[in-house]
Amino acid sequence: MTMDPLLAPTDGTASPFHVAIIMDGNGRWARARGLPRTAGHRQGAEAVRSVVEASPGLGVTHLTLFGFSSENWKRPQGEVGDLLGLLRLYLNNEVRNLEKNNVRLRIIGRRDRFSPDLQALLGDAEARTSANTGLHLTLALNYGARQEMVDTVRTLARAVAQGRLDPEAIDEATVSGALLTHDLPDPDVLIRTSGEQRVSNFLLWQMAYAELIFSPVLWPDFNGKELAAAVEDFQNRERRFGGL
């Protein structure tokens, strides 16, 4: 994929250009319209399609979406069931479009809490799109950044205990290489919709130098036009990475 030079990240690198999004506001969108929360989640799935389709034209090579956090299990059982049902529907209906549009899908997060049939759907979606070379779409499902860090520490500790890793050799690259996102570039920008201004336990290590954009738009109303506006905002910022 060739990136439009006008859209190239301001740190001077042409690629990759990685956008991470916390999709927030489905419930408020539905409540404002007198609709059940499930209607907001369904419209939110339409927003996912719009953003995925718009990303390549904006120079986005990697898109990571926070689909279901490890804290979302605390929601009412009925809503959790609706969310998981919508995920099944998305996987059944959208994987063919991802294949057609050369989008590679990856899942990060703990899958063991999902039902066997959903785990199978996730694995099948990844397998069917694994050879695609266009947009890299990552869905974070049953994901929490602190848990990811705990798991990473355990992995490195086992390697040290087994004599496979010298603790003095552990550096930032070692830690990054043991994360779930080990084969992804760090996000250049994090977008959170709905006006909330927090990162909610999402990619905490990876976002060390990400630009933060807090959009007032509720996720179901977010689309390619809104993404383009966020990209323009990002491109107008100067990224120094601690330098002058």
Catalytic residues: 24, 72
194 known member of a binding site: no
243 known member of a binding site: no
Nearest-angstrom CA–CA distance, 163 and 44: 48
Buried-exposed string 169-186: b where 16+ CB fall within 10 A, e elsewhere: eeeeeebeebbbbeebeb
The Cβ of residue 228 has, within 10 Å, a number of other Cβ atoms equal to 14
115 known member of a binding site: no
Nearest C-alpha neighbor of 194 from the set 213, 177, 214 = 214
199 known member of a binding site: yes
75 known member of a binding site: yes
Structure token digits, residue 52? 């995925």
153 known member of a binding site: no
25 known member of a binding site: yes
For residue 186, what are the CA distances in angstroms to 19, 146, 203? 9, 17, 9
- DSSP annotation of 36 reads -
130 known member of a binding site: no
Q: Cα-atom radius of gyration of the chain, to the nearest Å?
A: 18
205 known member of a binding site: no
Residues contributing to the annotated binding site for Mg(2+): 24, 211
Residues contributing to the annotated binding site for substrate: 25-29, 37, 41, 69-71, 73, 75, 192, 198-200
Residues contributing to the annotated binding site: 24-29, 37, 41, 69-71, 73, 75, 192, 198-200, 211
